[in-house]
Amino acid sequence: SPCNRAIKVSMSQNQSYWTCVTQKIEDQLKQLIPVRPPLLVYEPMHHLVFTARRTMAPALCVATCELVGGQQPISPNQALVVASALHLVQAALFTHEQLPLTDRPIPSNPETLTHHHAFAAGVELLTGDGILSFVYELLGRSDDPAGGNSERLLRVIIEIARAMGSEGMVDGQYRKMLCSVLGSEELCDVGWVDHVCEKKEGRLYACGAACGAILGGGSEEEIEKLRNYGLYVGKIHGLMLYYHNNRTGGEEKGFTDLVERCTSLALKELEGFNQGMVQTLSSLVRASFWDKC
Amino acid sequence: SPCNRAIKVSMSQNQSYWTCVTQKIEDQLKQLIPVRPPLLVYEPMHHLVFTARRTMAPALCVATCELVGGQQPISPNQALVVASALHLVQAALFTHEQLPLTDRPIPSNPETLTHHHAFAAGVELLTGDGILSFVYELLGRSDDPAGGNSERLLRVIIEIARAMGSEGMVDGQYRKMLCSVLGSEELCDVGWVDHVCEKKEGRLYACGAACGAILGGGSEEEIEKLRNYGLYVGKIHGLMLYYHNNRTGGEEKGFTDLVERCTSLALKELEGFNQGMVQTLSSLVRASFWDKC
């Protein structure tokens, strides 16, 4: 395909690598979540999956799979399925985060304020649950019929469930909610934003990077280094997003310092890996990358 | 243990068999969901798991595992873990079903009307998501470290995800919600209740019965027969519950006919299985069982 060719011809054109991978994941998602009968179920699902905020966690999963040498015929496809699952988890939790609950305070987050609800709250709630169950059905089904890959797949399921759960993204959403309830400025300082971003975007990206490395057959050391890399990239992404949505002049220095610290910690984790791919991966933490997003 | 002894000594005391299995599942759940720090997370989780309505789907999972001969040292424990997972799924969806959403109509269901919310809606929403992610983490982790059981476990994961998803319990909740929105009497007739019960309780019980048979190493034919048995038992349970909550004199005949039809279809599926255990299993569809619940 032209997409594959582009990757091979010029690995140094990092932006085009990410564009290609992102496009492949979109195609996979379109195939997985068609608009089909019953429309009452699949129309909201399709809408919520494709309007949810995109992250680079799915693409990171495909990239780390390639990095550790996932050249087996099965891995790239499976990495695309797992990458899609990562977006679906993010879409389901994002949908639940925007739900209008009777005792939820008026949101201080502009993202929530401007969020357009295409469906009734009850439909969006259930569609989120439907998407979550589809994630695990999808992962379970993605096992190679010839067998032999089940252990890796079970490990990926555990990784995704943990990243999503009460010590991961759900914890991040919980703390974000607490802050909007309490609304206290001392509480919602840089340290708090740091924590929320680590749990939300950080854990999602860390999970993506680790899952790719697991599927690609990476060593335990490679998996842990790439998990850490993902954690820092996700934190940076989360911090940029938060800063973009809540520009508060006074805090700027704190944010810049935090992003710089995460960037150098992230790059350290890539030492020792194959250089061509490292250049592509490390482009994710370069400022120029964010400008284009 | 005295519980095991009781099962062996008098299998004919069916009620005591179910009491024993149910107690074992409660013990397993208490071990899995302790009240531990951080209390902000685990207190709501514990509360919602243990106040959610109990069903017989988890006990059915343990029973069908035994029925097909799951005598391997690993299966009974794994069946208890999967049984616990089934209750957790039910608890998470039950929690989401009771959430106060801004545009949810005033519930016509007395169960919802009288539902006491111990926590803020945002906390209950996120705790539901946290429980769901814990389910899949738990299932993934329950793999035998010695290996060899991964395929069965992946199959159980698919079964649970499908039973919960947009063509299972979530669909049932959706149709239940539609009816309370539209509130039309023609819509919410016996046929509609039949459909909702099939999707909610039916699919949950069918899943429990099938998962037990899969874990116990049953044949495909045994798995399908027990899945069907579970579907009918679940429907009966759902119908009894609905009838108990919404006594409407006029519909009584329709309900009785439906329950009787399900009962005879259920018992037909048990033909050909080991007689001692069949007696225990079939006690689930006897009227005397419901009287004691």
Alpha-carbon distances of A22 from A139, A159, A209, A224, rounded to whole Å: 19, 21, 15, 24
pLDDT > 50? residue A141: yes
Give the closest of A104, A165, A166 to B122, CB-based.
A104
Question: Distance between CA atoms of A60 and A206, rounded to whole angstroms?
Answer: 9
Cβ contact, residue pair B136, A160, below 8 Å: yes
pLDDT given for residue A38 in this prediction = 79
Residue of chain B with shortest Cα separation from A92: B129
Q: Which tops the pLDDT comparison, A76 or B164?
A: B164
Give the closest of A45, A102, A170 to B130, CB-based.
A170
Q: How far is A237 from chain B (nearest CA, A)?
A: 23
- The DSSP string of B7-52 is HHHTTT-HHHHHHHHHHHHHHHHHHHS---SSHHHHHHHHHHHHHS
Question: Distance between CA atoms of B123 and A44, rounded to whole angstroms?
Answer: 24
Cβ contact, residue pair A139, B157, below 8 Å: yes
User: Cis omega before residue B38 (within 30°)?
Assistant: yes
Cβ contact, residue pair A101, B101, below 8 Å: yes
The stretch B274-289 carries a mean pLDDT of 81
Residues of A in contact with B151 (CB under 8 A): 143, 147, 150
Query: What is the domain extent for residue B77?
Result: 2-292
For A104, the token pair is 């939820």
Give the closest of A92, A141, A166 to B130, CB-based.
A166
Contact A56, A115 (CB under 8 A): no
pLDDT > 50? residue B9: no
Other CB atoms closer than 10 Å to residue A115's CB: what's the count?
16
Question: Distance between CA atoms of B159 and B138, rounded to whole angstroms?
Answer: 15
pLDDT category at A275 given cuts 50, 70, 90 is confident
Contacting residues for A290 by C-beta, under 8 A, at least 6 apart: A240
Q: Which residues pair with A101 in a beta bridge?
A: B101
Percent of chain A with pLDDT over 70: 80
Interval B75-108: pLDDT, tens = 568 899 999 999 999 999 999 998 887 765 555 5
Residue A264 belongs to domain with CATH number: 1.10.600.10
- H-run or E-run covering A159: helix A150-164
The stretch A181-210 carries a mean pLDDT of 84
Give the closest of B101, B123, B151 to A121, CB-based.
B101
Percent of chain B with pLDDT over 90: 54
Q: How far is A220 from chain B (nearest CA, A)?
A: 17
pLDDT > 90? residue B250: no
| Calculated CA dihedral for residues A106, A112, A114, A116, nearest 10 degrees | -110
Cβ contact, residue pair B132, A137, below 8 Å: no
Question: Distance between CA atoms of A289 and B165, rounded to whole angstroms?
Answer: 37
Residues of A in contact with B104 (CB under 8 A): 121-122
Contacting residues for A259 by C-beta, under 8 A, at least 6 apart: A236, A239, A240
Residue of chain B with shortest Cα separation from A180: B122
Interval B30-73: pLDDT, tens = 999 999 887 888 899 999 999 999 999 999 999 999 999 866 54
Contacting residues for A195 by C-beta, under 8 A, at least 6 apart: A172, A175
Count of structural domains within chain A: 1
Q: How far is A263 from chain B (nearest CA, A)?
A: 30
Lowest mean pLDDT among A49-53, A189-193, B13-17, B150-154: B13-17
Query: How many residues are present in chain A?
Result: 293
Residue of chain B with shortest Cα separation from A39: B166
pLDDT category at A4 given cuts 50, 70, 90 is very low
pLDDT category at A146 given cuts 50, 70, 90 is low
User: Cis omega before residue A38 (within 30°)?
Assistant: yes
Residues of B in contact with A140 (CB under 8 A): 154-155, 157-158, 161
Cβ contact, residue pair B174, A139, below 8 Å: no
Alpha-carbon distances of B82 from A126, B61, B118, B186, B220, rounded to whole Å: 23, 8, 27, 39, 19
Cβ contact, residue pair B133, A166, below 8 Å: yes
Mean pLDDT, chain B, as a whole number? 84
Cβ contact, residue pair B161, A93, below 8 Å: no
End-to-end CA distance of chain B: 25
Contact B94, B109 (CB under 8 A): no
pLDDT category at A292 given cuts 50, 70, 90 is very low
pLDDT given for residue A191 in this prediction = 84
Mean pLDDT, chain A, as a whole number? 84
pLDDT given for residue B245 in this prediction = 77
Question: Distance between CA atoms of A159 and B41, rounded to whole angstroms?
Answer: 20
For the ranges A92-96, A98-102, A179-183, the maximum mean pLDDT occurs at: A92-96
> Nearest to residue B104, comparing CAs of A253, A101, A30?
A101
pLDDT > 50? residue B4: no
Interval B109-167: pLDDT, tens = 555 555 678 888 889 999 999 999 999 999 999 877 666 688 899 999 999 999 999 88
Residue with tokens 């700027």: A252
Residue of chain B with shortest Cα separation from A150: B150
Cβ contact, residue pair B157, A151, below 8 Å: no
Interface probe with B: pick from A119, A125, A158, most Cβ of B within 10 Å: A125
pLDDT > 80? residue A95: yes
The stretch A235-245 carries a mean pLDDT of 87
Residues of A in contact with B101 (CB under 8 A): 99-102, 121-122, 125
pLDDT given for residue A205 in this prediction = 98
Cβ contact, residue pair B132, A130, below 8 Å: no
Contact A230, A210 (CB under 8 A): yes
Residues of B in contact with A158 (CB under 8 A): 136-137, 140-141
Give the closest of A122, A133, A141 to B165, CB-based.
A133
Lowest mean pLDDT among A10-24, A202-216, B76-90, B103-117: B103-117
